[in-house]
Amino acid sequence: MPALRTPSSSASPAKRAAPGAHVSSQSARSSSSPGSPAPPQRGKPARPEPGRASPRLANVAEDEGEDGAWATVERLLLDRTLHLHAHSHLHFPSDVPSETPSSSAAPEQLRAMRLACREFMTPRLAALSNTLPGVSAPPPQVRVATLPSLGPEAWVIEVVMRAPNPTNARASAATAPASAAVLMLPTVLLARAARTSSTSPTAPALLPLLLAFTAQHLDTHLSPQGAARSCKGKRLEVLLEDLWKHAMGAGEGSIECAWDMGTKGLDNMSLQMGWADAAESCGGAGKAPIHPLLTAYLAEHSSLYPSPSALVRIGVAGVHVGVNASGVRIKVSSGKGDAKGRARRVLKWINEEAAAA
């Protein structure tokens, strides 16, 4: 059976543990969610280019040399930290003609959004680069595409910042392009910031600006806190059990859970159990629910039994989801097995649980 280690805290002392699992506690820290949007400013959106025929729905950025191949689940979601935002009803600008409902994305509306986003981002990024010595930022590339494989109302907008043009020899070091993206689903928005390893000096500003533009252009309210309220406790347990049941070739490493105990001096309690130990205890991976096993083990070795609403973090089969007061963070690793399938399960869970909230 797994073993347990409990750090000292004001909670009840833990019993002596055996090898196999690891339990720890930590105090919760509140922090603002990365990429939270600035307050939106209302403004008239850019109109679509006149005289252009509607492109096929899977590609709305053909005039920037794009064929839509960039908008894949693997590229957009895998091995990146995603931040979840609840959104209110979407309102595409009414002066863009469309035969689709106002909350859906027609090709001409997405094209108008791309142009408006470029007009919004370009002067702001240029102003930011002017404050950085020796850097002249080129205009950003903005591309938009629908994602039919994720549903008829799924679409993505991405801003790519190419390497700045150095204005002096001191700033001539090569810099890689940085990109931020917003993936819109019917009830929630997934935000993906530029990689922290990007050397582009304007990279940290891409996602906050993109979120501010999205809220303004679609006249919607974005709330990472609202997403957090929708995804913890029993709703997070639903995802844990689904991934445990359908590991899809990723069964290795350990399973991790953390619970918000709500006890003074012991805000979070976490437990790690080896995959093999968990599978043996359940009669095989996915053969029996995993969360009751973990909570029972925690209760046995720490005298603490978390309530069903206390689950705030899971890690299983290459998927990690953490929920705190400031938002929800999600990461799906490519790793072994069907990573694309796991990402789709996470997206399905997001849509269903957020809609039920």
The residues spanned by each domain of the chain are: 21-31+227-356, 62-218
Residue percentage of the chain with pLDDT more than 90: 35
pLDDT of residue 258: 94
Q: Mean pLDDT over residues 145-149, rounded?
A: 87
The whole-angstrom separation of Cα 278 and Cα 276 is 5
User: What was the pLDDT predicted at 233?
Assistant: 92
pLDDT tens by residue, 84-126: 999 988 888 876 555 544 456 788 889 999 999 999 999 999 8
pLDDT at residue 259 tops 80:
yes
> Is residue 221 pLDDT above 60, yes or no?
yes
Share of the chain above pLDDT 70, in %: 68
Q: Is the confidence at residue 188, as pLDDT, over 50? A: yes
Report the pLDDT averaged over residues 117-139: 84
Please give the mean pLDDT across all residues of the chain.
77
11 vs 344: which has the higher pLDDT: 344
Residue 24's pLDDT band, with cuts at 50, 70 and 90, is: low
Q: Which residue has the higher pLDDT, 23 or 103?
A: 23
**pLDDT at res. 28:** 42
Predicted confidence at residue 59, as pLDDT, reads: 43
Cα pseudo-dihedral 6, 11, 16, 17, rounded to 10: -40
With a CB cutoff of 8 Å and minimum separation 6, the contacts of 70 are 143, 145, 158
pLDDT of residue 201: 75
Regarding predicted confidence, which is higher, 301 or 132? 301
Q: Is the pLDDT higher at 136 or at 244?
A: 244
pLDDT at 42 over 50: no
Residue 11 pLDDT > 50: no
Lowest-confidence pick of 43-57, 60-74, 246-260, 334-348 = 43-57
Burial 30-49 (b: 16+ CB within 10 A, else e): eeebbbbbeebeeeebbebe
Question: What is the rounded distance in angstroms from the CA atom of residue 187 to the CA atom of residue 190?
Answer: 10
Tens digit of each residue's pLDDT (9 = 90 or more) over 49-84: 443 333 333 344 444 545 578 898 888 999 999 999
The whole-model pTM stands at 0.78
Whole-angstrom CA distances from 115 to 101, 109, 143, 213 are 21, 10, 9, 12
What pLDDT is attached to residue 61? 41
Cα–Cα distance measured from residue 244 to residue 275, given in angstroms and rounded to the nearest whole number: 10
Q: Is the model more confident about 274 or about 20?
A: 274
Structure token digits, residue 79: 């091995």
3-state secondary structure the chain: CCCCCCCCCCCCCCCCCCCCEEEEEECCCCCCCCCCCCCCCCCCCCCCCCCCCCCCCCCCCHHHCCCCCCCCHHHHHECCCEEEEEECCCCCCCCCCCCCCCCCCCHHHHHHHHHHHHHHHHHHHHHHHHCCCCEECCCCEEEEEECHHHCCCCEEEEEEECCCEECCHHHCCCCCCEEEEEEECCCEEEEECCCCCCCCCCHHHHHHHHHHHHHHHCCCCEEHHHHHHHHCCHHHHHHHHHHHHCCCCCCCCEEEEEEEEEECCEEEEEEEEEHHHHHHHCCCCCCCCCHHHHHHHHHHHHCCCCCHHHEEEEEECCEEEEEECCEEEEEECCCCCCHHHHHHHHHHHHHHHHHHC
Question: What pLDDT, on a 0 to 100 scale, did the predictor assign at position 53?
Answer: 33
- pLDDT band for position 26 (50/70/90)? low
Among 82-86, 91-95, 139-143, 300-304, the least confident range? 91-95
